Amino acid sequence: MTLPFRRVAVLGAGLVGGSFALAVRRTFPTVHISGWDRSEVLARARERGAIDEATENPASACAGADLVYIALPVEMAIRLMPEIAAAVSPEAIVTDAASTKVAVCTAADAAFSPPRLFLGGHPIAGRERGGIEHADAELFRGAPYVLAKPASAKSTLAAAEERRDARVAGFLEMLGAIGARPVWLEASEHDRLFAYLSHLPQLAAVALAETVLDGAGEAAPLAGPGLVDALRLAGSPYDVWSGICRTNPELRGALDELIAALERVRGRLGNAELGDDFERANRLYKMLRRIE
Amino acid sequence: MTLPFRRVAVLGAGLVGGSFALAVRRTFPTVHISGWDRSEVLARARERGAIDEATENPASACAGADLVYIALPVEMAIRLMPEIAAAVSPEAIVTDAASTKVAVCTAADAAFSPPRLFLGGHPIAGRERGGIEHADAELFRGAPYVLAKPASAKSTLAAAEERRDARVAGFLEMLGAIGARPVWLEASEHDRLFAYLSHLPQLAAVALAETVLDGAGEAAPLAGPGLVDALRLAGSPYDVWSGICRTNPELRGALDELIAALERVRGRLGNAELGDDFERANRLYKMLRRIE
């Protein structure tokens, strides 16, 4: 397989960054991968063979890279965007893996200018446990991988004529090689959809877990497998989610709608109209299963 | 192993009743099991070896049984209680498997008089898919099995001096033999705890699924594994849940508390206090995992 990029920099070597590095390494063994993260994470990433070189700061990781993969918490990615833009080679492509896209793409539009190229991305791949320890070269296999279509002419991706740029083609080739399924969405459409598909379910799990803890926490050992599955997301760390909550403005409205749905269900506890709610829930259940 | 009961009647031969019959049959091969359900369910239960005899009505199933196991939707169990009480032998023990206990035990207290004996029960065992097709002799293994302590002197169980009655001892022996872990709770305490541990999570999944369907249903194929797990309960059938919603008066207050928790989370989207919510959710997550 020809090598779309010779030198890759991974900023953030946790579950996603570490898995990307492992997947790239497995598919393209001759690629050179530099990494930046906390030193203990980098040490572990090196032990696992995810990176060849541990660097002291984002700029050194980016130096000489032709692909820069940002897998940092979203607000850290935004904060570092000017530093990254200043450090990368004009021929490089920079992409990210954050769970909200409008804020990151807006920051990139402000920091990057052609021929430097930024492409927003969001791999729909997660694990119950995060961190480099759980990184896996197969994490992306079969999973959708959202790429952000340029919404404004200011976008460096629009300037690069979207998919026709060789660097974008190279990144798509790399995603295909590691088994991901690219899906193009506008950043705002991504944020709206994932407010419902991911961010609202996360906050619903947090609120449900708190309510169960207060009402029956002492009886947790009596819970059945239904609750254990329903609250898998309740184990997610706040440090990953704080920035997502702050950078997805669609989330507040989605919460309003969930509260309204719960109020409707509460009003129907004793009557047969509750059957309509179950029917609609059953419908989504089946839609989700078709893809399992 | 000595046989605590020679003739068992199973009213309702779906997932729970069918699994109980299969488990009893495996552990006590000489037991005779009669069943009552819709004729197609009984045919399938017979094919699977769960029952020896299919009966036309609850009274014929109960005739001659020394253990009657009611695994019917809760409101049907309540409605049939007088008919069952009239049909059973005075030496029999009758037990149920419904998900709420106060309403069933109250109906039984009204219908049964000593020496007939009713013992309320709730096996904390479920599967994603219901029905005799998914019945499994191992369904109860390792799972808690709540038994209702008598709350009033009117209870036939109180009259039978609780656990000292040989029939109760026999049923406990049978539960132990099929791998269940009996836990005694007062019916009202059971209903309060399971409002949080089971019934609220069910309705939360329904309301969340509806909200996701309306907001991003067309994008369901983009959902990650977190949503698929979080909405496993969204596939539950209304016909099982309608009666649970109508017979657990604690559920309304639990819904109020979940709505209040979601409102609190909504108010904290942009600020660090949301970290406290994640921390409490993480705590319950860990409590639930210890038992997995």
Nearest chain B residue to A270 by CA distance is B246
Q: Which of residues 129-148 of B touch A (CB under 8 A)?
A: 143-144, 146
Say if the Cβ atoms of A209 and B280 lie within 8 Å: yes
Note the pLDDT of residue B292: 45
A vs B: CB pairs below 8 A:
319
Q: Which residue has the tokens 């194929």?
A: B221
Element (H, E) at B144: strand B144-149
Give Cα B230 distance to the centre of its chain: 21
Question: What residues of A are in contact with residue B252 (Cβ under 8 Å)?
Answer: 266, 269
Q: Which of A211, A274, A285 sits opposite B200 (nearest CB)?
A: A211
Note the pLDDT of residue B161: 66
Is the confidence at residue A232, as pLDDT, over 60?
Answer: yes
Pairwise pLDDT comparison (B126 vs A245), residue with the higher score: A245
**% of chain A surpassing 70 pLDDT:** 98
Is the confidence at residue A162, as pLDDT, over 90?
Answer: no
Q: Tell me, yes or no, if B29 comes closer than 8 A to chain A by beta carbon.
A: no
Say if the Cβ atoms of A221 and B264 lie within 8 Å: no
pLDDT band, very low/low/confident/very high, at A39 (cuts 50, 70, 90): very high
Question: What residues of B are in contact with residue A282 (Cβ under 8 Å)?
Answer: 234-237
Token digits of residue A145: 């991988």
Question: What residues of B are in contact with residue A269 (Cβ under 8 Å)?
Answer: 245-246, 251-252, 255
Is the confidence at residue B273, as pLDDT, over 90?
Answer: yes
Is the confidence at residue B164, as pLDDT, over 80?
Answer: no
Is the confidence at residue A259, as pLDDT, over 80?
Answer: yes
Average per-residue pLDDT in chain B? 94
**% of chain A surpassing 90 pLDDT:** 89
As a residue count, chain A comes to: 292
Say if the Cβ atoms of B252 and A237 lie within 8 Å: no
Q: Return d(Cα A89, Cα A15) in angstroms, integer.
A: 26
Question: What residues of B are in contact with residue A251 (Cβ under 8 Å)?
Answer: 269
Give the list of residues 6+ apart from residue A232 with CB closer than 8 angstroms, or none: A128, A205, B226, B229, B230, B285
Give the list of residues 6+ apart from residue A115 with CB closer than 8 angstroms, or none: A90, A91, A160
pLDDT band, very low/low/confident/very high, at B1 (cuts 50, 70, 90): low
A179: alpha, beta or left? (left if phi > 0; alpha if psi -120 to 50): left
Question: What residues of A are in contact with residue B202 (Cβ under 8 Å)?
Answer: 226
Is the confidence at residue B163, as pLDDT, over 60?
Answer: no
Is the confidence at residue A123, as pLDDT, over 70?
Answer: yes
**% of chain B surpassing 90 pLDDT:** 89
Is the confidence at residue B150, as pLDDT, over 80?
Answer: yes
What chain A holds in terms of domains, given with CATH numbers, is: 7-185 (3.40.50.720), 191-289 (1.10.3660.10)
For residue B271, give Cα distances in angstroms to A241, B52, B275, B278.
12, 63, 8, 12
- pLDDT tens-digit map of A76-91: 999 999 999 999 999 9
Phi, psi of A199 (to 5 degrees): -75, -40
Note the pLDDT of residue B158: 79
pLDDT band, very low/low/confident/very high, at B130 (cuts 50, 70, 90): confident
Please choose, from the candidates A121, A132, A232, A88, the residue with its C-alpha nearest in 3D space to the C-alpha of residue A187.
Answer: A121
Q: Are the C-beta atoms of A25 and A1 separated by less than 8 Å?
A: no
Min Cα separation A164/chain B (Å): 25
Say if the Cβ atoms of B281 and A210 lie within 8 Å: yes
- pLDDT tens-digit map of B58-110: 999 999 999 999 999 999 999 999 999 999 999 999 999 999 999 999 999 99
Is the confidence at residue B271, as pLDDT, over 70?
Answer: yes
Q: Return d(Cα A196, Cα A194) in angstroms, integer.
A: 5
Question: What residues of A are in contact with residue B19 (Cβ under 8 Å)?
Answer: none
For residue A120, give Cα distances in angstroms to A10, A242, B85.
15, 20, 68
Is the confidence at residue B153, as pLDDT, over 80?
Answer: no
- pLDDT tens-digit map of B176-187: 999 999 999 999
Min Cα separation B22/chain A (Å): 21
Read off the pLDDT of each residue in A235-245 and give the average, rounded to a whole number.
Answer: 94
Note the pLDDT of residue B290: 78
Is the confidence at residue A163, as pLDDT, over 70?
Answer: no
Read off the pLDDT of each residue in B17-24 and give the average, rounded to a whole number.
Answer: 98
